[in-house]
Chains A and B, each alone.
Chain A
Amino acid sequence: MKKLIQSFAFLLLFIILLGISGLGSIAPTQMSATAGSYQIAPFENGLSIYQNSRGKYYTLSPFNDYELYKDKSRSSFISIEEVENKTFSHNAQKNHIQNITQSFKEYFKNDSDEITFKSNDKTILYTATIRNNHIRIDRSVSFDDNSSPKILGMTISFQGNDFVFDTKGNLFTYLPQDQINIFNSTFGMSLNANLDFLQIALLDKRVFILNPDLAGTIAIKGKPNQIVRINRDAKIIEIEEVVAPKNEKYSTSFDIYLYESPNEALSSL
């Protein structure tokens, strides 16, 4: 019995020392999941899609996401005042244990990433679920102030020099004609500038983004009950829908597909 107790005691000591040793390892602090030729990872301002070493980010952010009121006025989930006063929190910087968990998950599987923001009256969770070149974006919002919004908008930002276009070849961003010509000749397409409106809703709920300094094309696909709108002024794509709470949470989602070229995007989606 004494031998067994001694063995248990030393086993326990060994486990504790090994446990501390293992947890004392340095874990990567900015792991990212991969989808097609892009990566996705949480940052201080939201969940961003980007490419290694290229410095351009397409972000899903509570600073841009919004609720819409009956008078058509809107307010972002986290207001400028809250940003300036820093009265919100997020978990982009994970603690050591979370970093370890995320590192293991992404080392072996690479299937999801998420970030949570908390403001005075809201908790917003963004989740990206990845399968090959497809990212399903889920956002759940809970309102702590018992407000019950009717319409919520999700957004994804784009860059000033992006080609933002639809399935019919309408180009919704202002770009010099020689740039458009280069695009058309490179990809064998015929984009035509359509700049009549600063904001335009797309009937087939599909929009494509190509940045000349990135390799690949981002395709965004809304659901039938959603309005997919290009907001050229704010450089965001808005995905808006009428919502109803479920377990006191408002959940919305949409799909992002990442392709090698606009031709592949148009033929696949």
Chain B
Amino acid sequence: MIISLFAGILFFLFPTLVGRTFVRMWNKKKSLSFPFVSYFISGSLLTYLVTVITYYIAQLAGIKIGFEYLFAGIIGILSFIFIPANFVIEKYDLKIKEYILPTLASFATAALTTLLWRIKSPYPLNWDIYEHQTLTTNILHGKFSFFSSQVTDTFGFNGYSTIFHSLLAASQTFFHIQIFDYWNSVSMVHLWLVCLASYLMAKEITGSRAVGYISMLLGGLIFDSTISFTNLFLIPQTFTALLFIFLFTQLIKTLKTGKSQPLIFIALGSIFLLLNHYIVGTVAVFFYLGTYLYFRFKNFLTPKINRKHAMLIGIILSATAIVISGIIPLESLNKGEGEAFVLSFADKWNTLRQTYGLLPLFFVPIGIYTIAKRKTELTLYTLDIALALGAMVLLQLPYVMKFFVLDKYFFNVIIAIGMYTILKQIRNFALRYISYFILIFTLIFIFVLNSANWKQILIYKNTQSHIAESEIKAAAFLKEEYSNSNALLISDPSTQYILETLSNVNTQGGAYMDHPARATLDNISQEQDPNRITDSLFQVKDKVTQDTNTRLFALSGRYFVWQNQSKKNKQDLSFNIWHTADLTLTNKEYINKLVSQSDQFKLVFQNESIAILEVVMSDLDLK
């Protein structure tokens, strides 16, 4: 467990230590504020660049050594060269004392949030960890590409490069990790950093520590539980947003002190954001570069721009875009999983209420009023970004809620300013502390209701979880017996998804099983003849991994619940059986029949929630 927790910390630490030496070489003038973000980004890009170049050179040169050994070599060499150098290079003069209290308070907020979140939930609740870990494990087993869809067919399209997974793989290279402990560790550090980034950004924008701390509390305890998942889930989009906030804060802090941000680090930051998530990264880079250019040329721009007119034009354009996006036919975009993620205005309002309660209703107007009254440049600029990103979130397009992952930090600053506008009027020391206590209590209250809502579909026995002990045991069996066999595991999308990650036995697409495979599986439910079932199972093909003659048919409680769904649900990529289900007598009867009536099915494992059958190709297929 300790090794897994340490490996989780290494995800952040390894690139930082590698990058620190690199940054010091490029930035001898020490002009960087918050240099840690540049250390991390530089180290990450260096690691990834070396990995990509090595992989493609090895491919071109036809080098026979497994890429897993080359990757381990890369990580080993980088560690050997760059990490010891940290002890000899010149240090930055950082005012560490200034950050001790916020760092500790961020940790406390993250720990409190995690404790509340994990009540009755023994395993991580981030459904996406399975696909990211599957890709990471594939990298560790020598399957690599710049394109995620070429490493595993769990990724149907390329929304990002494999940089995120390469960094995960780097931290796992030399350790035998427990997957859930590892993900608990990285998620906790991510949440900690989200809280810290929320503090630092708010403090830099407003100059107020109090606003920073309120923003930190909002960053930790407000969980955007639909689509964006900013704080509790570490995934490429949330990681992109976190790094963007650190970069944005670094930029404005540097510019505030009158220094200029070295272009090399602006370029590296932009490249990292883009590689980490093409869509969210593009928007993040737009605002990052926009901020740099605005502040770089503001003396030239400000006299020529009438702020009120610009604001009015912005509002009209945003409103027009929101209206048009709801009218124009976008069927081509609203396909597949995207179809399930077009939220109406009512849905978005309910999402906001579930996430924040009615906090925005009161504190956003107060915050805007205070910003408008004070007319401080940075707070006005923050408001502009919050509104621009907010307008994007309101567009009637699939996935636009993802942009809330960026907006949430700015939105929280506006709310924090609104709250502080009232709090600073409470001049009595004791009463002000009471009001902070009540604020924390309210945020916990909203968080618990939000979590209760989110977790209520995940009930299995006395837990609220995507997975159960019985499935972990089944995965352990598969790993022991079949992980080196190139067998293809077939089940309902959810069972495949979980078992592939935990056992490293390949499946066709995991939770993103393709439509023909779904149709084949659907037909099996109508089929009585074991030979035909066998034939159907051998029709399921993985497009990325080479075909194999061994099929494993995992008949789980989830599989049977999935088979009882409508054809539409079975074809829907966003539909899953989210919780474990145990086998019923009818399910067991089906399994027994299959095994007893045909020698093509061999029962190799069974417990209360899953039976695994090894499938032998029928004579017809062999011919």
Contact = CB atoms under 8 A, between A and B. Distances in A.
B481 interface: no
B58 interface: no
Contacts of A186: 585, 588-589, 592
A110 B357 CA distance: 24
A140 B363 CA distance: 47
A213 B357 CA distance: 40
A123 interface: no
A216 B357 contact: no
A36 interface: yes
Interface string A231-269: 000000000000000000000000000001000000000
Interface of A: 3-4, 6-8, 10-11, 13-15, 17-28, 30-32, 34, 36-37, 39, 51-54, 100, 103-104, 106-108, 110, 132, 182-183, 185-186, 210-216, 260
Given A22-B442, A53-B561, A108-B119, A210 B585 contact: yes
Interface string B402-444: 0000000000000000010011011110011011001100100
Closest 7 pairs (CB-CB, A-B): A215-B582, A24-B358, A7-B428, A25-B357, A212-B585, A10-B425, A21-B358
Contact of A32 (B350, B459, B586): B459
Contact of B353 (A26, A211, A214): A26
Nearest to A35: B462
A108 to B, nearest CB: 7
B69 interface: no
A114 B449 CA distance: 20
| Centre residue among B438, B456, B577, B583 by max chain A CB count within 10 A | B456
B584 A214 contact: yes
Interface of B: 119-120, 350, 353-354, 356-359, 361-363, 419, 422-423, 425-428, 431-432, 434-435, 438-439, 442, 445-446, 448-453, 456-457, 459-462, 557, 561, 577, 579, 581-586, 588-589, 592, 608-609
Nearest to B362: A17
A19 to B, nearest CB: 8
B589 to A, nearest CB: 5
Contacts, number: 154
B102 to A, nearest CB: 23
B427 A52 contact: no
Given A24-B357, A103-B452, 13 more contacts: A3-B427, A8-B428, A8-B431, A11-B434, A24-B353, A27-B449, A28-B449, A28-B453, A52-B460, A104-B448, A107-B448, A186-B589, A215-B608
A29 to B, nearest CB: 9
Nearest to A182: B589
A176 to B, nearest CB: 12
Nearest to A186: B588
Contacts of B453: 26-28, 103
B212 to A, nearest CB: 18
A19 B577 CA distance: 36
A8 B422 CA distance: 11
A30 B456 contact: yes
Contacts of B434: 11
B583 A215 contact: yes
B425 to A, nearest CB: 4
A185 B586 CA distance: 13
B359 A36 contact: no
A22 B446 contact: yes
B449 to A, nearest CB: 5
Nearest to A24: B358
A8 B358 CA distance: 23
Nearest to A215: B582
11 contacts: A10-B426, A20-B362, A25-B353, A25-B449, A26-B449, A27-B452, A31-B456, A53-B581, A107-B119, A183-B585, A215-B581
Contact of B452 (A15, A31, A53, A182): A31
Contacts of A37: 460-461, 582
Contacts of B423: 10, 14
Contacts of A22: 357, 442, 445-446
Contacts of B445: 22, 25
A216 B438 contact: no
B451 A107 contact: yes
Contact of B582 (A23, A26, A28, A216): A216
B105 to A, nearest CB: 20
A11 B427 CA distance: 10
A106 B452 contact: yes
A19 B120 CA distance: 27
Nearest to B360: A21
Given A11-B434, A21-B359, A108-B119, A212 B452 contact: no
Contacts of A210: 585
A94 to B, nearest CB: 14
A28 B464 CA distance: 15
A3 B426 CA distance: 8
A23 B432 CA distance: 22
Nearest to A52: B459
Contacts of B439: 14, 18
Contact of B585 (A26, A27, A182): A182
A21 B581 CA distance: 37
Nearest to B432: A7
A7 B431 CA distance: 7
| Centre residue among A22, A27, A31, A54 by max chain B CB count within 10 A | A22
| Centre residue among B350, B446, B457 by max chain A CB count within 10 A | B446
Contacts of A103: 448-449, 452-453
A107 B463 CA distance: 11
A21 B361 CA distance: 8
Given A6-B425, A31-B452, A52 B579 contact: yes
Given A10-B422, A215-B583, A53 B119 contact: no
A22 to B, nearest CB: 5
B610 to A, nearest CB: 12
A39 B583 CA distance: 17
Contacts of A25: 353-354, 357-358, 445-446, 449-450
A7 B427 contact: yes
Nearest to B424: A10
